[in-house]
A and B are shown apart, each in its own frame.
Chain A
Amino acid sequence: MLGCARLAALQQLEYRFNLIADTMIQPFIVGLVEITLWVAFFASTGRAELVGFSRESYLAYALWAAFISRVSTSWMYESMMIEDVESGNVNAVLVRPISFFEYYLGQLMGYKVLTTAISLMAPIAICLFLDLPVDMTRLPVALALVFYYLILVHLISMVIASLGFFFTRIHHLTVAKNITLWMLTGEFFPLDIAPEPLKSILIALPFSSAVFRPVGYMTGRVSLASIGEGFVSITIGIVIVGVVATYLWNAGRKRYSGTGA
């Protein structure tokens, strides 16, 4: 798997302009857009706080949510996996002693480690510039939770890619899934401002570990215990989605016709 991680890093480093756009320009712009939205919200309502948290706390949340959500999504590798199944390029993996899951998980992790390390500069710089309330010592634990969550994300990608064996074209499913996760992860808004019982349900789901729990931990909205609960909830998610992914992959492989070669 380390070899696959190295492969992803080599591929990213091959196209330097694309890498800079991905790791520096994009997070900087996304961070500014999110902050602008929340500044506009507070300015228009005339409030200084919302559900017990200050304006600065929301700005810090918005900034780091934008950054962490980029780490915890895998639309690029998911698209590549779908494309591989649809086009028959999956053959190149199937004939080698490595699993499709391992091959792409290694690449996903390699890509995320490289791009996260570089793109961290953007939110840190904005945070320092605006003097936002963020405990940077909590960043390693928050990132550990996000990287663990990536295994679940990758399994969801396996489920969607496996559907490619049955339905031929399934790209739009990725878009639908991403929009759903946008709300479930806490990227769109902090989950603790949702009304009960929706709030408890949303936080209990493993998807809250993608953005809400790690960013909430860094910005003081949630405790370390919540991070522990996040690990447990992700583990349950990995088991459930893992079973579904394995079943669909094996069933799909039986139908597979080795398209395009």
Chain B
Amino acid sequence: MTANIETKDLTRTYETYMKAQGLLKSIEGLWARKTELKIAVHPTTLRIDKGQIVGLVGSNGAGKTTLLKLLSGLIHPSSGSAQVLGYEPTSRKPEFLKKISILLGQKNQLWWDLPPADSYDLLARIYEIDRTKARERVRELSELLQCTQQLQTQLRRLSLGERMKMEIIGSLLHQPEVLFLDEPTIGLDIIAQTTIREFLAKYVHERNPTVILTSHYMDDISLLADRLLLMSQGRIVYDGSVKEFTGRQEARQTLSLKILNPPAHNTNIANQFTLEAGALAVKQDLPAHAIGDVLQALMQVSPIQEIKIEEVEFEDVIRSFMEQDARLRTPGRSPTT
């Protein structure tokens, strides 16, 4: 398979000024400033094939957005190299920029004062797309995203969800081969999230672009991505399929129940948790294999009034992985502890 994105030891460090506290230190900072180097992305070697949809996940500051910016040519690497569609991103060759798109969910890339329709006319000129074809494409995309009515309204007057739909149209107008989506559904209500998620799923299925998607909403990742990259402190700590990732984690379930007779004193339940004295309700994440023992132990304490067993959220699985990873990286602890 052809690799659309390849990196070799791609690294990015930032030099930041260490602001000292207080007026005197601030005055001293006029002539003497201390700086520190922060590694945003540790040497990263990566290969993403044509048509792959990659979910890039990690906590805030993990290096996800920095990696996207490196791959789209927005920022230069400190060392290492990247090739996207055979181009070095930082060279910003027009033929490269016409084949990629980056959507930054927290930044407007259309023009605030203008209706999106005017912005698309300008984008059509910038990307050298035939005006009629561009307008036809805008019509198609806006119908799919259910936002045709807002095309003539100034961007500043649109809601966050409507703005994001317009940004998506702007980023897809030139039919990019590689699409970088950074938090496309951030801050949106559930209806707008669903519309955008379903639109993107349909779009990538039909057009087959290579996509790297970052999101805090795991529904975005689980619905769209066929490969998961998990980043922590500037490193990729997991690279595999979403399915494998969830399978690798110990299967866990959330047990919620109400009991009729609260215990008089704290009671150990099947060595899994302690049921506090007087408690009438329980909600606990447990290993799936322990659910039976827990129920049996609870029934010896009190009759059960109501019971619910749910799959643990994908987000929680990732959080648990990250916590485990952070524990392993704590200085002074061996990876086996």
Contact = CB atoms under 8 A, between A and B. Distances in A.
B66 interface: yes
A10 B126 contact: no
Q: For chain B, what secondary structure do more than half of its interface residues adopt (helix, strand, loop), or is it mixed?
A: mixed
A261 B73 CA distance: 14
Interface in B60-108: 65-66, 69, 72-76, 90, 92, 94-95, 97-98, 100-102, 104, 106-108
Contacts of A253: 76, 90
A2 B121 CA distance: 12
A14 B122 contact: no
B114 interface: yes
A258 B75 contact: yes
A11 B107 contact: no
Contacts of B72: 95
Contact of B66 (A92, A95, A258, A260): A258
Interface string A138-176: 000000000000000000000000000000000000000
B25 interface: no
B127 interface: yes
Contacts of B241: none
Nearest to B97: A97
A16 interface: no
A96 B126 contact: yes
Given A3-B122, A14-B154, A96-B126, A261 B101 contact: no
Contacts of A10: 113-114, 118
A121 B84 CA distance: 53
Contact of B76 (A7, A95, A98, A254): A254
B125 interface: yes
A261 B106 contact: yes
Interface in A96-117: 96-98
Interface string A1-28: 0111011001100110000000000000
Given A94-B92, A95-B102, A97-B98, A7 B75 contact: no
A91 B154 contact: no
A89 interface: yes
A11 B113 contact: yes
B175 interface: no
A3 B126 contact: yes
Contacts of A95: 72-74, 97, 100-102, 109
Interface string A224-258: 00000000000000000000000000000110111
Interface residues of B, number: 35
Contacts of A254: 76
Contact of A88 (B73, B107, B154): B107
Nearest to A90: B74
A94 B94 CA distance: 11
Contact of B107 (A3, A6, A15, A260): A260
Given A7-B114, A257-B75, A258-B75, A91 B122 contact: no
Interface string B15-45: 0000000000000000000000000000000
B177 interface: no
A136 to B, nearest CB: 35
Contacts of A3: 121-122, 125-126
Given A3-B126, A88-B107, A258-B69, A94 B114 contact: no
Contact of B94 (A4, A89, A97): A97
Contact of A91 (B66, B107, B114): B107
Contacts of B75: 256-258
A207 to B, nearest CB: 31
A257 B14 contact: yes
Contact of A92 (B14, B90, B107): B107
B182 interface: yes
Contacts of A98: 126
A91 B126 contact: no
A135 B25 CA distance: 61
Contact of B122 (A4, A94, A257): A4
A132 B101 CA distance: 57
B314 interface: no
B111 interface: yes
Contacts of A256: 74-76
Contacts of B14: 257
Contacts of B109: 91-92, 95
Contacts of B113: 10-11, 14-15
B212 to A, nearest CB: 14
Interface centre among A91, A92, A258, A260 (most CB of B within 10 A): A258
Interface centre among B95, B100, B111, B126 (most CB of A within 10 A): B126
3 closest A-B pairs by beta carbon, nearest first, are A3-B125, A97-B94, A97-B97
Given A92-B107, A95-B101, 20 more contacts: A2-B125, A3-B125, A4-B122, A10-B114, A14-B114, A14-B154, A91-B104, A92-B108, A94-B74, A95-B72, A95-B97, A95-B109, A96-B126, A97-B95, A97-B97, A98-B126, A256-B76, A258-B74, A261-B104, A261-B182
Interface of A: 2-4, 6-7, 10-11, 14-15, 88-89, 91-92, 94-98, 253-254, 256-258, 260-261
7 contacts: A11-B111, A14-B114, A95-B102, A257-B75, A258-B66, A258-B75, A260-B107
